[in-house]
Amino acid sequence: MILVLAGIALFAALTLSSVYSFTKEPIEVAKLAKQQNAIKEVLPAFDHLDAPVNVTEGNESIIIYKAYDKSNQFIGAAVESSSNNGFNGKIVVMVGFDKEGTIVNYSVLEQKETPGLGTRMVSWFKTDKGHQSIKGLNAGKTNLTVSKDGGDVDAITAATISSRAFLYTIRSAYQAFVNNTDESIAVN
């Protein structure tokens, strides 16, 4: 009986490891494609990007993609930022800033928030209703915290923790943008 159980465990382990090795590469390719599409979605029209700049702030890793037009003029940056403080863990967001620090758009790359509540962050902060939308706001001139905490942005209804974590990623992205961009940015 021990040999049979050991054989079954060995077979299961080999099966799982082979499935992992087959799916690892397609998953990485899909993740990279999602990241590239997010960069295009969050930035104004651009010609080329600089090599990504990796920044570590606290426990968070931030990646900055500086964008330039055809005449090599800086037009903005896409910043990938994350927070481990979501209701169900990690939230990863790509946010685009123009050269003045105004939020062009954002894309949620990864989240495991509660369906129907925290997952609404994908579109909630783009909706031009009340004080929900962060698009068009200058992150250096706006208090990007939830209104419940004295900020300027309405939280997702019944998902304040997710909203706080999302807005934290945006503030972190902006800080990294300001600290790691050579061009002069209108901060205040």
Over range 88-95, report the average pLDDT: 92
Q: 116, 110, 115: which is closest to 166 by C-alpha?
A: 110
CA distance 170 to 179: 14
pLDDT at 186 over 60: no
99-145 pLDDT, tens digit per residue, is: 999 999 999 999 988 888 888 898 889 888 888 899 999 988 989 99
Task: Give the pTM.
Answer: 0.81
60-69 pLDDT, tens digit per residue, is: 789 999 999 9
CA distance 107 to 41: 8
CA distance 188 to 186: 6
Identify residue 13 by its one-letter amino acid code. A
Over range 145-150, report the average pLDDT: 90
Confidence of residue 56 (pLDDT cuts 50, 70, 90): confident
CA distance 183 to 49: 15
In the chain the beta strands, taken as DSSP E runs, fall at: 48-49, 53-57, 60-68, 74-86, 89-98, 103-110
Q: Are strands 103-110 and 48-49 parallel, antiparallel or unpaired?
A: unpaired
pLDDT at 32 over 90: no
Residues present in the chain in total: 188
Q: End-to-end alpha-carbon separation of the chain, Å?
A: 73
CA distance 8 to 52: 46
Over range 34-47, report the average pLDDT: 91
CA distance 97 to 100: 7
CA distance 106 to 96: 6
Which tokens is 34 given? 């999602």
